[in-house]
Structure 1
Amino acid sequence: MTPALAHALYALAWLAFGLGHSLLAGRVWLGRWSRLAYNGIAVASFAGVSAVGAVTLAGQPMFDLPAPVLAGLAAIHFGGWAVLLLSARHYDLGRLGGLTQLRHPDRPSDEELRLDGPHRWVRHPLYAGAFLILWGAAVNPLGLATACWGSLYLLAGTWCEERRLIRLYGRAYSDYRARVPAFAPWRGRVTDPGRRD
């Protein structure tokens, strides 16, 4: 298989994953089982994308990068895991995973707008961690392709998610969005509309 065909197949796998994931996001099609089913489909689909990558692009040599660059990429990668895991503490993981909906079907499926913890710095801390994980692993053709396609997926997902959050929370989210950056905490910690600290 030529490298161009391998990359094209991997890109198509990411496109199929992204479209399927975005089309199902937020849909309540199985009642209280919807979120759990959505997550199961996402995991199975991502396993399929990974399998396509393993078949088409795995086994290619690492890029010839100097040791300090490799060390820096490793720090970025593991830093991304730290951001993701520390940020996860500020989410209702039962609700995110779909277990809360099974145990308490009468509760709303969406949680209240969270503006505390890492959300004072960035609107999407889990995605911020995911970007670091992806780009820190871009040390070979598979890692670089995964970083590119994964980043496009995250950007498209953010676009869809932001529209859903505006519909859900209205002006409160629009104001928050105007003050707090999406992924990089370049404004520092934002505590309220009139003050940055």
Structure 2
Amino acid sequence: MSAHLAYALAWAAFALGHSGLALPAVKRRLRPWLGRRYRLAYNIVAVLQVALVMAVGGFALGDRPAFALPGWLAAGMGVVHLVGWGLLLWAARFYDLGRLGGLAQLRGESEDEGLRLDGPHAYVRHPLYAAGFLILWGGAFNPLGLATAVWGSLYLLLGTWAEERKLVALYGGAYLDYRARVPALLPWRGRVPPPG
């Protein structure tokens, strides 16, 4: 099996497992067993899955040399990478990280935190995914980085699609209005103030 195919299959297994565990039918079956620990368990499994994917990538492609990039391109990619991390850190400030990680649910709090329209959400609907794209493509300096950017981007696109469906089901017309005004990933409209 080729190194690229092995890495692609590892990403596919992660995508199926991670997305499968988020399906409502799977949640309904696991909740009686896991209860309030579901979200925390989901995140622990995700971290283990990503670690396995990265291990497969490192084993399959980690020994490949870096691309011979012109200095201006390498510098630009480095800037994109850093901007991605900056966006990720900024966006994280607008989420309840205890709720996102599953710790708030252990205290009996609701899983959903409400529709966010402020901070980075006034520019794009999915700031964490936008940051992910920047981090991935800014780090594509070698075959492993490029393969990670390709497969990670595909996963983020599928995740964006699934997240959109979930948010429409959760927030209905309020989310549809937000979606009509604010772009998903590229802030081409600039800051879009909330209605009213």
TM-score when normalising by structure 2: 0.93
Q: Structure 1 residue 159 and structure 2 residue 161: aligned?
A: yes
Partner of residue 134, structure 1: 136
Q: 1:8 aligns with which of 5, 9, 30?
A: 5
Partner of residue 123, structure 2: 121
Please give the root-mean-square deviation of Cα atoms over the aligned residues, in Å: 1.3
Q: Structure 1 residue 146 and structure 2 residue 144: aligned?
A: no
Report if aligned partners of 1:14, 1:149 keep a CA contact under 8 Å in 2: yes
Report if aligned partners of 2:125, 2:184 keep a CA contact under 8 Å in 1: yes
Q: CA deviation at 1:192?
A: 3.6
The one-letter amino acid of 2:76's match is G
Q: Which stretch shows the higher mean deviation, 178-187 or 21-30? A: 21-30
Q: 2:43 aligns with which of 27, 34, 39?
A: 39
The one-letter amino acid of 1:184's match is L
Structure 1: unaligned runs, 5 residues or longer: none
Partner of residue 20, structure 2: 23
C-alpha separation in 2, matches of 1:192 and 1:36: 32
Partner of residue 100, structure 2: 96
Report if aligned partners of 1:179, 1:193 keep a CA contact under 8 Å in 2: no
Q: Structure 1 residue 51 and structure 2 residue 48: aligned?
A: no
**TM-superposition CA deviations, 1:95-137 (whole Å, max 9, x none):** 000000002x1x3211111111110000000111110000000
Q: 1:188 aligns with which of 184, 187, 190?
A: 190
C-alpha separation in 1, matches of 2:155 and 2:19: 9
Structure whose residues are more often helix by fraction: 2
Counterpart of 2:67 in 1: which secondary structure?
coil
The one-letter amino acid of 2:144's match is L
**TM-superposition CA deviations, 1:39-81 (whole Å, max 9, x none):** 0000000000001001100110111101111111011001100
Report if aligned partners of 2:15, 2:155 keep a CA contact under 8 Å in 1: yes
TM-score when normalising by structure 1: 0.93
Runs of 4+ in 1 over 4 A off after TM superposition: none
The one-letter amino acid of 2:177's match is D
Between the two proteins, the alignment pairs up a number of residues equal to 189
Report if aligned partners of 1:123, 1:177 keep a CA contact under 8 Å in 2: yes
Report if aligned partners of 1:121, 1:187 keep a CA contact under 8 Å in 2: yes
Report if aligned partners of 2:84, 2:135 keep a CA contact under 8 Å in 1: yes
C-alpha separation in 2, matches of 1:179 and 1:187: 9
Structure 2: unaligned runs, 5 residues or longer: none
C-alpha separation in 2, matches of 1:117 and 1:137: 26
C-alpha separation in 1, matches of 2:21 and 2:156: 15
Report if aligned partners of 2:117, 2:194 keep a CA contact under 8 Å in 1: no
Partner of residue 109, structure 1: 111
Q: CA deviation at 1:193?
A: 5.1
